[in-house]
Amino acid sequence: MAEDSPPLDDWHGNYFNYFTEVEEHFQKARGTALFLMSPLDWALVESWKNAGIPLTAVLRGIDTAFEKWRARKTKAQAVNSLAYCSQAIATAAEEMAKGGVVDHSGEGEDSKEDANAPFPLADLQAYFGKNIADLEGGNYPDIVAGLQKLAAEAPHWYRNLEELEQRLSALEEKMLAQARARQDEESLFAARRELDLQLKPYRGKMTAAQLSMLERQFLERKLLESASLPRLSLFYLR
């Protein structure tokens, strides 16, 4: 691998599989592949990703949390949310940071081009096309125009995925701001009520900073869902 390639958790390899890896690992640790994660769980995963928590720390924290749960003599209830693992994941991330541990899981002898292109160009082009189609007619002309411009230069961006992700994130933030301005008070109230109900059992297990980031991610997800808007980040190219 080229010496100037960015660390795994910053860009390539499992970077694009962050959500899937966490979901599958949690299901395996819980012992059921049929368990579906809630909107709160997905918002929590996104908050870890955005906070730069290494994938290895998340997986390690999940294992630790379940080991402690199984070691209990009495188990009042099953683990039904990733929020149960949040403190163990925070501890795992702190230990990795203090120990200077770098997550190299999935790192092999790929060329720099392969590391920066974990999916075919055709998939990227299809992703652009789907998101443009989903947004057309939805009164987001500037976002559509931005995506169309990127799509027209897809081969170029395929070789520069890091910058592409930054541009897509900027477009998504702009789209969210527009959607938020159009959101009515009742929809916001309903989303906050759902958040409070789901988060109530776990508030004591998280710091104020963790709660704040989780609340933001949850409300953004609910806003996108209610407005029928697509995610633009490459994380969702699956």
Question: For 31-50, what is each residue's pLDDT tens digit?
Answer: 876 677 887 888 888 888 88
Instruction: Write out pLDDT tens, residues 91-103.
Output: 998 888 886 554 5
Domain count, the chain: 2
Q: What CA–CA distance (Å, rounded) separates 19 from 33?
A: 15
- 72 token code pair: 């209990």
Question: Do residues 150 and 85 both lie within one domain?
Answer: no
Instruction: Report whether 226 contacts 187 (CB < 8 A).
Output: yes
Domain shared by 127 and 87, yes or no? no
Domain boundary among 99, 126, 147: 99
How far CA 231 is from CA of 108, 139, 193, 224, in Å, comes to: 30, 16, 23, 8
- 137 and 219 together in one domain: yes
Q: Do residues 221 and 156 share a domain? A: yes
Tens of pLDDT, residues 174-209: 999 999 999 889 988 998 998 888 888 777 777 788
How far apart are the C-alpha atoms of 199 and 81, rounded to whole Å? 10
Query: How far from 43 is each of 11, 81, 201, 205, 207, CA to CA, in Å?
Result: 20, 11, 16, 16, 16
Q: Within this chain, do residues 64 and 158 fall inside the same structural domain, yes or no? A: no
Token reading at 192: 């906050």
- Please check whether residues 209 and 121 belong to one and the same domain: yes
pLDDT value, residue 13: 44
Identify the residue whose tokens are 């958040």: 195
Residue 55 lies in a domain: yes
The whole domain housing 32 covers 13-99
